[in-house]
Amino acid sequence: MPLYADIVLPLAQPEYTFAIPEGMTVEKGCAVAVQFGAKKIYTGIVWRIHDRRPNVKTVKPIQARLYDEPLLSDAQMQLWEWMADYYMSSLGEVMRVALPSLMKPSATTQSRFEEELFRPRKELYFLLSPAFRERTHLDEVLDQLERRARRQYDALLEIITTVQPDALKTDTLSPEVFETEVPRRLLDSELSVLRALEKKEYILPVEHEPSTEQGKVRFRLPELTPHQQEAYTLIKEQFANGKSAVLLQGITSSGKTEVYIHLIAEVLSQGGDVLLLVPEIALTAQLIERMERIFGSRVTPYHSKLTDVKRSETYLRLNRSQGGSFVVGVRSSIFLPLKHLQLIIVDEEHDASYKQADPTPRYQARDCAVMAARIFSSKTLLGSATPSLETWLNATSGKYGYARLTERYGEGRLPEILISDTLRAARRGERHSHFNQLLLDKIEDTLSRGEQVMLFQNRRGFSPYVECTECGWTARCKDCNVSLTYHKASGRLVCHYCGHSEPMPKKCPSCKVTDLVPMGFGTEKIEEEILKFFPKARVARLDRDAVTSERAFNAIINDFAEHRTDILVGTQMITKGFDFDGVSLVGILNADNLLANPDFRASERAFQLMIQVAGRAGRRASGGEVVIQTSDPRNPVLRQVVEGDYEGMALTQLREREEFFYPPYSRIISFTLRHRDIQLLRRAAVELSAALRKIFGRRLMGPMSPPVDRIRGEYLISMLLKIESGASARRAREIIRREMERFHAQSDFKYIEILINVDPQ
């Protein structure tokens, strides 16, 4: 008889064993309350049930079982296990990101715990008494009530007519009147009146959690073009032929989403579940709306803007669903309990936001989706105009299926892309502030035709650093090793790493001679400057500073969509998922800082970003233009952007990656050591790297200083392991785990944090 349960707690700890008290039934995947440590009560998940008493003095009992049903299916548990193993975290750390916080409270007292735990709210329903199937009885009662208790009469009628509006006009009540639970919230009658009817047993109260009404099963879909139809058929064939993942590579506006819609409809109408992963929900509000127009109430959004109550409700509702659910959500939706999952679509699969940066597990939701498809026996479709090189290699090597869309839908043409040399413009006196004459001319033309412009700059704020021209002093964060960004509107210098801000000094704090000069430029400065050239234009800005709330975000987007603004200046935020029909010119103000990144993915990312920004132009027949300003016009990546030559880019980059043994030809695991004491940290880094080097030899690089080597007062030292893909990766993880334990067992280094990042991006 099983007496013990190994329980996962939301901590960086292994599972602990608790006793199952007599009379309590628990199953794998159940949530329970347990006491752990001195006093604290935690939510835990039952992972294993067995009869081996652990070797400790007392085994604490489980305090309570928390929900009626298990919160995790076997498949979900397998996914968690894979993630914990692959991303080198504990199951507890997976639990921390996987469940909404109200579903996993921890507290020091029982009552506090109870208070915090999410319980789905119940709703009150009323059912008509079956005694009224006898029509004469009903008529008698109604007669009586009409004379003596008018409000009860109205209430009883309200319940009946809510289900059958013409009930009084016919002799026969439909059977539905006796079968339908009428929600209290739909009734106008007062509760006291309803309770009075209840007392007389004319109506019966029923209380339960709100039911999930599933929408229609057949959906009205736009017809696919022959090309789209071909891609659609090919995808289905490849799924049927055993590919669990397929790449759909289609240029912007080619109708990838239309193909998704057809695949989704098919799964839903068969009662299966679909998960559509999207990069950032605020940026994909349009996509959700588009899905809701077709799939109605089937669509379940899941993202960071939802309240925790809503997330918990969603989790439990899906957990009980009989299938036919459709979630549109950000990376954490990979954890939702979709028991009938048949299809996962990862839109813009190359997007970096699928990778969780912090905290651990630093998972990549796209890769998890591919793994989940295997575990759940479902399928994964990866969609992008500019796939990640990892995915593209998998598709072209035959590991994944591969379908393509190479034409824009309808009359839309791809925009023409022009490279504008900033140095040459400067030499010729054709550079004005941050704009080359060419770009200014194009903006002028566009505005005079009554069309719209988007300007892209990947830095927010006014200027990324301020400098004293007299003594060379620059403003730096006191806690981080980075320069402070000047934000003109607030008059402050802001650290983009820790959020610290201080007023902009009037005079140079060092020599006290001159004023400080803002150097470089961010979106705020572009917004200000562009108005000098086009004072009549209506200019708006979209970046993290402008978007103070979801409402502010929507306002900026709607103003632009409805052409109340002419020019939209923005960061990455403007690149994703918008269909603005009126945009015919896109300007990329500085391609240099995209290309010059010291990262092996810099060229790939620059290409993806520029193609995506460019794709915002000319979604209508008139076509469009893109101007890219750069001081390095001969850069091969720029040529590839101009020609829309994804394959050229991919082949060049892959050749380099292969030569230098970078992903996808190797796997990277990075280690970042973190501590306030730089001396201790250096010693630790030397020691750990020596230990790892003994095993991994030249596969280990470092220790080295990361580009920003101090954040929030803590120093950082990193090292990097490049290992062969395949089976040896698992072996490597085992070794690393062992070495980490050994390292932390040394008393000196006990408090040195090591952040492990598998497949860093």
* Residues pairing with 670 in the sheet: 720, 757
* H helix or E strand, kind and range, residue 372: helix 365-375
- CB of residue 503 to Zn ion, shortest distance in Å: 16
Q: Which residues bind ligand ADP (CB under 6 A)?
A: 222-225, 228, 250, 252-258, 409, 579
Q: Which does 470 bind (CB under 5 to 8 A by kind): ligand ADP, Zn ion, none?
A: Zn ion
The one of Zn ion, ligand ADP, none whose footprint includes residue 288, by CB under 5 to 8 A per kind, is none
Reading the block at residue 587, the tokens are 């300007």
Preceding amide of 361 cis, omega within 30: yes
- Of the pair 162, 225, the CB lying nearest ligand ADP is at 225
Contact with Zn ion (CB under 5 A) among 149, 498, 555, 729: 498
Among ligand ADP, Zn ion, none, the one that 254 touches (CB under a kind-dependent 5 to 8 A) is ligand ADP
Q: Does 474 bind Zn ion (CB under 5 A)?
A: no
Binds 250: which of ligand ADP, Zn ion, none (CB < 5-8 Å by kind): ligand ADP
Structure tokens at 552: 């502010």
When CB distances are held under 5 to 8 angstroms depending on the partner's kind, the choice from ligand ADP, Zn ion, none that residue 632 binds is none
Please measure the distance between the N-terminal and C-terminal CA atoms of the chain and give it in whole angstroms: 48
Please choose which of ligand ADP, Zn ion, none residue 437 contacts, taking the beta carbon within 5 to 8 angstroms, the exact cut-off set by kind: none
Instruction: Indicate whether 131 belongs to the interface with Zn ion (CB under 5 A).
Output: no
Give which of ligand ADP, Zn ion, none residue 480 binds (C-beta under 5 to 8 Å, depending on kind). Zn ion
Closest to ligand ADP by CB, 255 or 760: 255
Provide the minimum distance between the beta carbon of 328 and ligand ADP in the complex, in angstroms, as a whole number.
14
Quick one: 335 or 578, whose CB is closer to ligand ADP? 578
Q: Shortest gap between Cβ of 709 and Zn ion (angstroms)? A: 12
In the set 236, 476, 500, 682, which binds Zn ion (CB under 5 A)? 500
Nearer to Zn ion, 240 or 471 (CB): 471
Q: Does residue 265 touch Zn ion according to CB under 5 A?
A: no
SS (H, E, C) 165-188: CCHHHCCCCCCHHHHCCEEHHHCC
Q: Does 453 bind Zn ion (CB under 5 A)?
A: no
Among 309, 471, 489, 552, which residue sits at the site for Zn ion (rule: CB under 5 A)?
471
The Cα–Cα gap between 237 and 8 comes to 41
The beta-strand segments (E) located in 446-556 are 452-456, 465-468, 485-487, 492-494, 501-503, 516-519, 539-542
Write down the least CB distance from residue 227 to ligand ADP, Å: 9
Q: How far is the CB of 652 from Zn ion (least distance, A)?
A: 37
CB of residue 371 to ligand ADP, shortest distance in Å: 25
371 binds Zn ion (CB under 5 A): no
User: Which of ligand ADP, Zn ion, none does 253 bind, CB closer than 5 to 8 A by kind?
Assistant: ligand ADP
The answer to whether 378 touches 79, Cβ cutoff 8 Å, is no
439: Cβ contacts below 8 Å, ≥ 6 apart: 420, 587, 627, 629
In the complex with Zn ion, the residue whose CB is nearer, 259 or 495, is: 495
Q: Which does 498 bind (CB under 5 to 8 A by kind): Zn ion, ligand ADP, none?
A: Zn ion
- Minimum distance of Zn ion from residue 509's CB (angstroms): 8
473 interface partner picked from Zn ion, ligand ADP, none, CB below 5 to 8 A per type: Zn ion
- The DSSP code sequence of 618-653 is --STT--EEEEEES-TT-HHHHHHHTT-HHHHHHHH
82 binds Zn ion (CB under 5 A): no
| Nearer CB in complex with ligand ADP: 395/717 | 395
The whole-angstrom separation of Cα 320 and Cα 113 is 24
Cα(9)–Cα(15) distance, rounded to whole angstroms?
Answer: 7
Query: Distances in Å between the alpha carbon of 702 and those of 9, 12, 678, 688?
Result: 35, 27, 16, 10
CA 269 vs CA 84, 228, 376, 432, 746: distances in Å:
34, 20, 19, 58, 59
CA triple 553-559-563, angle to 5 deg = 150
Residue 452 beta carbon to ligand ADP: minimum distance, rounded to whole angstroms: 17
Which of Zn ion, ligand ADP, none lies near 225, with the C-beta cut-off 5 to 8 A by kind?
ligand ADP
Min separation Cβ 438 and ligand ADP, Å: 28
Q: What CA–CA distances, in Å, run from 508 to 463, 478, 482, 633, 686?
A: 16, 16, 18, 36, 39
Nearer to Zn ion among residue 36 and residue 497 (C-beta): 497
> CA 104, 107, 111: angle at the middle one, nearest 5?
105
Structure-token pair, residue 454: 């988007």
Q: Rounded to the nearest 10 degrees, what angle do helices 74-86 and 91-98 cross at? A: 120
Cα separation, 567 vs 163, whole angstroms: 53
Could you say which of Zn ion, ligand ADP, none residue 212 binds, taking C-beta under 5 to 8 angstroms by partner kind?
none
Query: Do the beta carbons of residue 95 and residue 10 sit within 8 Å?
Result: yes
By CB under 5 A, residue 197 contacts Zn ion: no
Check binding of 505 to Zn ion (CB under 5 A).
no
**Which one of Zn ion, ligand ADP, none interacts with residue 158, CB within 5 to 8 A by kind?**
none
480 binds Zn ion (CB under 5 A): yes
Binding range to Zn ion, per CB under 5 A, among 102-110, 268-276, 487-495, 544-552: 487-495
Environment class of 58 (CB within 10 Å of its CB; exposed 0-12, middle 13-18, buried 19+): exposed
Min dist CB 257 to ligand ADP, Å, is 3
Q: Does 714 interact with Zn ion (rule: CB under 5 A)?
A: no
Q: Which two tokens stand for residue 16?
A: 């602990």
Q: Pick between residue 579 and residue 739 the one whose CB is nearest to ligand ADP.
A: 579
Other CB atoms within 10 A of residue 375 CB? 17
Q: Please, which residues bridge with residue 417 across strands?
A: 626
Q: If contact means CB under 5 to 8 A according to the sort of partner, which of Zn ion, ligand ADP, none does residue 477 touch?
A: Zn ion
Task: List beta partners, residue 247.
Answer: 382, 402
Nearer to Zn ion, 440 or 495 (CB): 495
Check residue 479 for interaction with Zn ion (CB under 5 A): yes
Name the site residues for Zn ion (rule: CB under 5 A). 468, 470-471, 473, 477, 479-480, 495, 497-498, 500, 508, 510-511
